[in-house]
Amino acid sequence: MSIEKISTHPFKDQKPGTSGLRKKVSHFKIEHYLENFVQSIFNSMDRVEGSQLALGGDGRYYNREAIHTIMRMASANGVARLVIGQGGILSTPAASHIIRKYKLDGGIILSASHNPGGPEEDFGIKFNTANGGPAPENVTERIYEHTLNISEYWIADAQLVDIDHQGNFDFEGLQVEIIDPVDDYAELMSQLFDFDLIHQLFNSASFTMRFDAMHAVTGPYATRILEDMLGAEPGTVINGTPLPDFGGGHPDPNLTYAKELVDIMYATQGPTFGAASDGDGDRNMILGKRFFVTPSDSLAIMAANAHHIPGYRQGISGVARSMPTSQAADRVAERLGVECYETPTGWKFFGNLLDARKVTLCGEESFGSGSDHIREKDGLWAVLFWLNILANKRRSVEDIVREHWSLFGRNYYTRYDYEGINSQAAEELMAGIEEQLDSLKGKTLGDFEVAYADDFSYEDPIDQSISEHQGLRIGFTDGSRIIYRLSGTGTSGATLRVYIERFEPDPDKHHLDTQKALGELISIAKVIADIQAKTGREEPTVIT
């Protein structure tokens, strides 16, 4: 084998976002682009020679080519061992578990999560550290610094390993282990949940389910666990074959992009339980018969019912939620006598809290929830959590949610996404809101009095690191909130997210339509930001 030292030049646009580096496939195909970022990951590691890493992705277009490039570079950089999912498939939660179970030094995950896939669509790469979680900001900043100063990378000129067959292979001194991508994850799930009880639920004539894998990575995991292990009827998992372009769909499990599942669940004779996951398997959507569960409510309900789940019967140490997520989980934590932490958006911010055992459950309003079993959000885990709750209570999803509201009150909540807007216009819009913050406190806007208006900053309670400019908040005296953020997960233009929340303690008012219940706050949010004038958009791209 010969090792080549390739001269290169820096690219100025390789700053990782909240979930790594995401660009169009065509961008990653630019000469040296992928190689520069991979070498920067290796250069940022405390010890690359002799290290052991996981490698895999969601199967999207360019996944295989990237894996082969990374294998050659890992060999040239002295990596001792790569653990790769068969066919290059490895869901993000499964990768986190494999890193932790086999005590690896980290992992490289190839995914753009819920973004579309295909030759003209998106690709992504991120580095997870030895705890199994996304690299924290100090690591991503180190990677970014290397990308700005890189002048060469190392790559092996060698025959490639066949990643489609399991086994152990010697790749010119690099030990490559091709594993079944599902086995270890399925074993972990069987330890956390009461599979016998869930199996009984699937045997009940009154219970039916559909799981939409959206032609993404979760298909093999859901088929193995739901149908093969738990006894769900064949066909419970739909769109279960991972495809490089996700079947032409947008693998984001929400009411807009998971329309096929939504139509099934809202049909007259629809199933009793529905769920979906996203491109890399870390997000989830939960549905009952003609009933949508917001991710914020889902986190709160899981926290309130954790004592029903074998893996959590010892109790939860605390809950964490991202700042834009509704405050429903806060009320559960208060009732349980545990802390509820409010963090910036981005799963990496939960890592320190989980490692310090400050929290057991955590979640984001963007359809992500998880626990201390790994260090990533986990879509199928959340589905199994709900199945275990349903198996215990033997009540409908809607009944469980309404019972929760009667005990804790209802947080009416919605998110408006304006996708692909002009980046400069988006920045100007945010600047315009920020200019108003100091003058808003104490003002009355419609029926609401402003209690505070600020730019959210976060001091990590474990390492005291500070993260600023994490979202503009307007809070009202009754607990209602309006929040504005620019998302870091897209690859084209900017995505403006507007979050609106209002707490309703009166059970007699829990039946209202969400958009009507939040109508006045939605109007206030649009006026403050002057959205239509500054973006040209009359309506959002997605409402959840």
Q: Is the dihedral of CA 8, 10, 11, 17 positive or negative?
A: positive
Burial class (CB in 10 A: 0-12, 13-18, 19+), 213: buried
Q: What's the token pair of residue 186? A: 């399925």
Q: How many residues does the chain have?
A: 544
In angstroms, the first-to-last Cα distance of the chain is 53
Would you say 84 and 129 are in contact if contact means Cβ atoms under 8 Å apart?
no
Would you say 329 and 319 are in contact if contact means Cβ atoms under 8 Å apart?
yes
Would you say 368 and 282 are in contact if contact means Cβ atoms under 8 Å apart?
yes
How many angstroms from the chain centroid is the CA of residue 134? 11
Q: What's the token pair of residue 281? A: 């398997």
Beta partners for residue 485, in sequence order: 497
d(CA 397, CA 408) in angstroms, rounded, equals 17
Q: What's the token pair of residue 261? A: 């599942």
Nearest by Cα to 61 from 122, 127, 145 = 122
What is the number of alpha carbons within 13 Å of residue 99 lying toward its C-beta? Answer: 30
Question: So which residues are the catalytic ones?
Answer: 113
Q: What's the token pair of residue 12? A: 């100025």
